[in-house]
Amino acid sequence: MPNIGVEYQVHQEGSGWSEWFKNGAMAGVIGQSLRVEAIRFRLLNKDGLDIYIHGNPHLENIGWGGFVAENEICGTVGESRKMEGLQLQVVGKDADKVSVQYRTHSQDVGTMAFTRDGGLAGTEGGGKRIEGIQILITEKDVDLSQYEVPAFRHFDPIPVPEIIPVTSGRLGLKHFNEDTEFLCEDGCGFDVIDQIKLMADAAREIYGHPLFISSGGRCADWNAAVGGIPGSNHTRGVAIDVYAPGRMTRAEVDVLAAVMQAVGFHTISYHDELFVHGDLDEGYSWDMN
């Protein structure tokens, strides 16, 4: 797939149009009960392909408003009307080459599952405002919807994969060696917690391609030796750095980050270095580049 991207901005209660966000970043203010009223979007780096995004908003007291094209206002501005649902699709002669994947952070629900290519995101009939939106462009065969609640209508929080109490060394991971692949690299034996290992295994199952743990647990000495942030979550055993050998591009970093978020990780996307940091600390942001 060419290095196709997408950027988008939301019009939100109290602040107007946001900055432009790209490739899976959350657009919108979360946790302040502010409604998204409209969104604009456009594809980047089409590389000569005949593709465009069209969007259809579900609006308070209106319902589904009808599809609008790239760069047009999808929603309303100046009417204090909340957007409750969203439907996106790729159109054009080359629409069969890529998928548009998207999800919402909705009132009383939280961040919902990814849907794609005309699927319904958000809610309908419950009067629930959208507070944030994420959009990604991926290859057609990438599925980000596994292990999550449905993307539309259901008012259940996204479950993290069940963490079953286990004895160390008996996790039964499908894709990683639980005894070696997450250890501190200086040989001291410092390891990450079992929950991180189970979540990493679940992410690998969704992603469908081999993943390599480039950094797992770190003792304080090794963290200092590699220039890690003092007090890094690696030193607490609750963080890993991950990449997919032979697959990483800037766009693929966002795909992998979205998969890791789907199983409960908080992530930082390192687009220049081509890896994803995942941890259990909500203080981390989606994108540092």
Read off the tokens for 186: 């200086």
Read off the tokens for 96: 């069969």
- Contact between 261 and 282 (Cβ < 8 Å): no
Round the average pLDDT of the chain to a whole number and report it: 86
Give me the pLDDT at residue 68, please. Answer: 95
Length of the chain: 289
Amino acid at 236: R
pTM of the model: 0.55
Burial class of residue 235, CB neighbours in 10 A (0-12, 13-18, 19+): buried
Q: What string of DSSP letters covers 140-183?
A: TT----TTS--SBS---PPPPPP-----TT----SSS-TTTTTS
Long-range contacts of 266-274 (CB under 8 A, 24+ apart): 269/24, 274/243, 274/248, 274/249, 274/250
Q: 157-211 pLDDT, tens per residue? A: 334 444 444 334 568 888 888 888 999 988 899 999 999 999 999 999 898 888 9
Q: 90-137 pLDDT, tens per residue? A: 999 999 999 999 999 998 888 888 999 999 999 998 889 999 999 999
Q: Distances in Å between the alpha carbon of 45 and those of 4, 14, 42, 184? A: 5, 32, 10, 39
Q: How far is the C-alpha of 177 from the C-alpha of 93, rounded, in Å?
A: 45
Q: 256-267 pLDDT, tens per residue? A: 999 999 999 999
H or E element, residue 270: strand 266-270
Between 56 and 156, the more confident residue is 56
Question: Domains in the chain, ordered, with CATH?
Answer: 5-139 (no CATH), 159-289 (3.30.1380.10)
SS3 14: coil
The closest of 135, 124, 145 to 54, measured between CA atoms, is: 135
Q: How far is the C-alpha of 78 from the C-alpha of 19, rounded, in Å?
A: 18
Helices 194-207/250-262 angle, 10° precision:
120
- Locus of tokens 């996307």: 269
